[in-house]
Each structure stands twice: as structure tokens, then as C-alpha cells.
Amino acid sequence: MFNKRTKIKDLLSFSADNQSVTVMGWVRTFRNNQFIAVNDGSTNTNLQIVVVLGSQPDDILRRIVTSTALKISGKLVPSLGKGQSLELNCEALEVLGDSDAEKYPLQPKKHSLEFLREIAHLRFRTNTFGSVFRIRHSLAFAIHKFFNDKGFIYLHTPIITSSDAEGAGEMFRVSTLPFDNPPRDENGNIDFSEDFFGRPTNLTVSGQLEGELAATAFGEIYTFGPTFRAENSNTTRHLAEFWMIEPEMAFNDLEDNMNLAEEFIQYLITYVLNHNAEDLAFLDQRLLEEEKLLPTDKRSELSLLQKLRFVTDNKFERITYSEAIDILLQSPAYKKKKFQYDVKWGIDMQSEHERYLVEKHFKKPVIVTNYPKDIKAFYMRQNDDGKTVAAMDILAPGIGEIVGGSQREERLDLLTKRMTEMHINPDELWWYLDTRKFGTVPHAGFGLGFERMVLFVTGMTNIRDVIPFPRTPKSAEF
């Protein structure tokens, strides 16, 4: 069997007592024609391979450059080198794949994140992105474990849909009609009856509506899949393609929803703290070094690890939207006109407002509830005051909104009335309204943007650096 190897991460836990092992990986550095630093992606820690001078043919040694793929067998022995407890004395060496040293763009030095985005197909090979994407994997696994252990059903909702769950209208159209000469009806409009699905369809912005259907049968479900927004947002917080986790729970109200979301976030962070200590320590140190270059007033008060433990160890602050607006109106930032956007009751709070509440005022994650109904979606349960809905957003340090959710409107008459007010045709969502006709129940749910969660946990500052191949306006490379 060719692939009889030991991963470097596992090997580092061995006691070095001359046991024979085989490793495979890529060269990071090669010094003095004798010392090869090899990495296989299982950890940021390289394994030092010691080649006895004269033991390998010169033509093989000349092929060993940065990124050459190697298979090495030998004896594991204690290392006298600094920063490593063991090394591998090479007995057999095979080049699996050559690398062109002059053209390979990743040399043993620090590269900017902007440069690495231009070579996203290779950036996984750096320590920074190795740590980021191992943590992304752990978070994805923890999501499934959290809900599975609670008895939730994992539901795959459609990627192609004819509904717009958010009412945003910023969707990617899916069509097989010819762009240059689509069929048209008697009024000159595109005739979608001749399209593949016989109607207008788009890439999903949310699996929530379909999730509600399943929750009214199974009780508790969750979705975890890709979602799409065709909004022209070139920011560090937005992507055109991203992943969402959306649980829906029957027999839950707004408070139940908040409790689950808070427990969920704390569980995910705790899981990574317990399973990715090495990667978090690397990113923590990386962030500390980056912040040394910033002015004192721009530096974070907490390190990455301190921030994560602060979230897991403290209850989230809970305030109403009205209380949030009052805090902002009374803030020194508002009085000194430091906010770019205006503050008044009824606004959709901007990131600067959300981050002020979290980072300056409460200095912990904040759950804001009971938003004005005019800035929220049609499916949110209307409160008795006639002005607000039973919505909740969780705001996190450094990011702003990380979770958005609500108790859903289970009363058929109020739901259809609200849809009409928002110019949504109830006939087009007849299947959704059926859940309110056949055994309606109080129910709630929320959405967590997966990339924003990865952003928060890794301490990265640009969302394009926490998804393997970012899709943004004018960019669909790789």
C-alpha cells in the first residue's frame, strides 16, 4: 500500500525512540543540503528531516526546493535543535512531485493577505490559512454535533428556489433561456413559462421558509448550506456566496430562540478552544503582532483568546431595540458627531452602531430584541404594540450582527395581512401558509452566517479570508 504514512500532527505526540515511520508532505525549507522542514497540513508545526551527507544522490537533492512533495522513511529520534522535541533521520527519500522554485510564489517569508487572495489556490499552504481552515472545519463539525446531540433533524433545503425569503430582491437569476434573444409574451416581458422550471427562479437567499415546513412536522430542524446575495457590497463583511446555519423550532418563543442561539455560539467557541488550541495560539500571536503596528486607541482591549473566553464565560447582554437607540443617542460618539449614519428610532442600525453597543458600551455580546416591523421581514411575529416584531439580533465584537432571528408569525390572518402590506402575493406562498392552516403552533428560528462566525473565532478582519474561494463583485476566480 502506497499511503502507509503517519501524519505529522500525530507523530509529534510520539516518544522519539528510534521507531520507523513514513511521512509525506511538502518542503517548507531545505538548509545546508541536510535539514528539510516538511509540512503535511495536519498542523502548522514542521517536521525536521535530517539527511546524512552523502546518503542521497545529488540529482535527488537538487530537486528538493520549497513546495517539493516528498515521501520520507526513517527513524524517529530526539532532536537537539531549538523548538523541536524530535526529528526524523532519513533512510529512504522519494520525490513525489517537483516544484519550480523560481516560479513558486510562496517563499519562506511573510506575505500580505491581499497578495495571498490573488493566489487563493495556494494560500492554504501558509500557516495563517492552515490555521483558519482547520478551525473552519472544526466549527462545521461542531455545528452538526451540537444539533445532532439535541435531536434536531438536518434538512437539505433547495439551492434553486422561486421564493425570496427575505423580500430583498437581490438575487441571482437561474435560467436556461438565451440571453441574447429570450422569448417574450404579448406585453414584451420575458416569458418564463418557456424556461427550464416554467417560472422565474433564483439561487436561494435563505432556507428558512422550507425549514419552517419541516419544523412543523419534526419539531426541531436545522439547515447548513450555501446561500447567495446579489448585492454590490465590496466590504470586509459581505460575500455574494456564503454559508448559513438556520435552525427552526416548533413550540418555541422569542426567549427560547435567544437561549438556544446563545448556547449555540458558546458551544461552538468552546469546541474550538478545546480542539484547536495550537491554531488559536498561532492566530492569537499573529493578531498581537499586527496590533502593535496600530495606534494605541485602535488596538483591541482583549487578545483573541481572551475575547473568545470572555464570550464563553459571560451571559450575553439583552436589550430592546428602543433601549439600544436610547443608548446610542446618549453616547459621546453621537454627541460628538462621530457616527457616519444618523441615529433615531426606526433606523436599521448600521455596523458602527452595533459595534459601539458591543465594544464600547457593554463590552460583551449583545442581543437586541423587538425591532420596528417596518425594517423587518414579513414572517416575524407582530408584537401587541403594533410597531415592533419579536425579532432578535446577536451582535459580536469586531463584526456587528452575527445572528438574526425571530419568533415567526403563526397567526394566519395577521401573516397574510402583513404580506399584503409588503406587496407579497400570498398565492405564491400557498404552501408556506398551509402550515398556519393545519395545526399552527408558536415557533421560532434564527440564521447564523457561518463565515462571520469563522471570522470572529479566528480574529481575521476580512471575510474573504475565511472562505476557501470568495465570491464577491467582479470576482469569481478559482
Please report the pLDDT score of residue 169 as a whole number: 60
Please report the pLDDT score of residue 167 as a whole number: 57
Asked whether the predicted pLDDT for residue 117 surpasses 60, the reply is yes
Instruction: Tell me the mean pLDDT in the region 300-327.
Output: 94
- Per-residue pLDDT reduced to its tens digit, 60-74: 999 999 999 999 999
Please report the pLDDT score of residue 297 as a whole number: 74
Please report the pLDDT score of residue 233 as a whole number: 81
- Residue ranges and CATH numbers for the domains of the chain are 8-97 (2.40.50.140), 125-155+264-465 (3.30.930.10)
- Per-residue pLDDT reduced to its tens digit, 133-146: 999 999 999 999 99
Instruction: Tell me the mean pLDDT in the region 401-417.
Output: 96
Evaluate whether 132 touches 454 at the Cβ level (below 8 Å).
yes
Three-state helix/strand/coil letters over the chain: CCCCCCCHHHHCCCCCCCCEEEEEEEEEEEECCCEEEEECCCCCCCEEEECCCCCCCHHHHCCCCCCCEEEEEEEEEECCCCCCCEEEEEEEEEEEECCCCCCCCCCCCCCCHHHHHHCCCCHHHCHHHHHHHHHHHHHHHHHHHHHHHCCCEECCCCCEECCCCCCCCCCCEECCCCCCCCCECCCCCECHHHCCCCCCEEECCCCHHHHHHHHHHHCEEEEEEEEECCCCCCCCCCCCEEEEEEEEEECCCHHHHHHHHHHHHHHHHHHHHHHCHHHHHHHHHHHHHHHCCCCHHHCCCCCHHHHHHHHHHCCCEEEEHHHHHHHHHCCHHHHCCCCCCCCCCCCCCCHHHHHHHHHHHHCCCEEEEEEEHHHCCCCECECCCCCEEEEEEEEECCCEEEEEEEEECCCHHHHHHHHHHCCCCHHHHHHHHHHHHCCCCCEEEEEEEHHHHHHHHHCCCCHHHCCCCCCECCECCC
Report residue 378's pLDDT band, with 50, 70 and 90 as the boundaries.
very high
Please report the pLDDT score of residue 109 as a whole number: 82
**Tally of CB atoms within 10 A around 429:** 19
Exposure string for 41-80, b = 16+ CB within 10 A, e = fewer = ebbbbbbbbbbeeeebeeeebebbebbbbbbbbbbbeebe
Report residue 103's pLDDT band, with 50, 70 and 90 as the boundaries.
very high
Exposure string for 153-189, b = 16+ CB within 10 A, e = fewer = eebebeeebebbbbeeeebeebeeeeeeeeeeeeeee
Instruction: Tell me the mean pLDDT in the region 285-311.
Output: 88
Task: Name the residue with higher pLDDT: 461 or 108.
Answer: 461
> Which of 154-168, 229-243, 247-261, 395-409 shows the highest mean pLDDT?
247-261
Please report the pLDDT score of residue 235 as a whole number: 82
User: Which of 60-69, 296-305, 316-325, 384-393 has the least mean pLDDT?
Assistant: 296-305
Asked whether the predicted pLDDT for residue 339 surpasses 70, the reply is yes
- Per-residue pLDDT reduced to its tens digit, 346-363: 999 998 999 999 989 998
Please report the pLDDT score of residue 110 as a whole number: 86
Asked whether the predicted pLDDT for residue 166 surpasses 70, the reply is no
pTM for the model: 0.94
Report residue 400's pLDDT band, with 50, 70 and 90 as the boundaries.
confident
User: Can you tell me the distance from the alpha carbon of 166 to that of 451, in angstroms, rounded to the nearest whole number?
Assistant: 19
Share above pLDDT 70 across residues of the chain, in percent, rounded to a whole number:
99
Q: What is the mean pLDDT of the chain?
A: 94
Please report the pLDDT score of residue 165 as a whole number: 67
Write down the residue that cell numbers 446563545 correspond to.
262
Please report the pLDDT score of residue 83 as a whole number: 75
Asked whether the predicted pLDDT for residue 56 surpasses 60, the reply is yes
Asked whether the predicted pLDDT for residue 264 surpasses 90, the reply is yes
Terminal-to-terminal C-alpha distance of the chain: 33
Asked whether the predicted pLDDT for residue 224 surpasses 90, the reply is yes
Asked whether the predicted pLDDT for residue 168 surpasses 60, the reply is no
Instruction: Tell me the mean pLDDT in the region 27-42.
Output: 95
Report residue 421's pLDDT band, with 50, 70 and 90 as the boundaries.
very high
Please name every residue paired with 456 in a beta bridge, in sequence order, or none if there are none: none
